[in-house]
Amino acid sequence: MANAESDSLIIRRANAADAPAVLSIFDEIIAWFAEIQNPGQWGAEPWSSQPRQVARVVEACSLPGAWVAEQRDGPIRAALVLGEAMPYVPAATAPEIYVRLLVASRHSSARGIGRRLMAFAEDQARLAEVKRMRVDCYGGGSGALVRFYESCGYERISALDIDGWPCQLLGRDV
């Protein structure tokens, strides 16, 4: 599926040229994290000012499973990257699609976009005839991110410590 449209939202393949907009979303969220005193997830410095993070986002946007969600005639409000499992998680025991990245703007017009992108990811799994999905996320702070994925039908598989970063691995059948 090259495009998915709903209301004024367009989901399309991402590319390296989308990286500045995706970095802007990261910066927006990191500023919000600073406001609520939650620097544990992605740190406290804007990613757009960190060459290593800029390179990571450019690479992520260039992957074949990278997607962005934008408002019709408007800005990119979210990014989703699907693909192989991250190297720090246990290997899959069956074919799967792994949610490598999900990031969404805090802007009011982006409300619900994360859930819509997770549903889109499940549609991609069905199209690929893959019955298993996994995702990992920040397992610290208030636990709200873990609860978000649970509300999308994911179940906790295992908690991991990635060099002091609390990680929760979740999965679901589709």
CA neighbor of 169 nearest in space, from 138, 147, 125: 138
Per-residue pLDDT of the chain (174 residues; tens, 9 = 90+): 444 444 688 999 999 999 999 999 999 999 988 888 778 888 889 999 999 999 999 999 999 999 999 988 889 999 999 999 999 999 999 999 999 999 999 998 899 999 999 999 999 999 999 999 999 999 998 899 999 999 999 999 999 999 999 999 999 999
Query: In the chain, where are the structural domains located?
Result: 3-173
Q: Does this model's pTM top 0.85?
A: yes
Q: What is the pLDDT of residues 112-132, one digit of tens each?
A: 999 999 999 999 999 999 999
Helix 144-151 × helix 113-127 angle, to 10°: 50
Position 65, amino acid: G
DSSP 53: H
Q: Assign domain 3-173 to its CATH superfamily.
A: Gcn5-related N-acetyltransferase (GNAT) (3.40.630.30)
Q: Is 159 left (phi over 0), alpha (psi -120 to 50) or beta?
A: beta
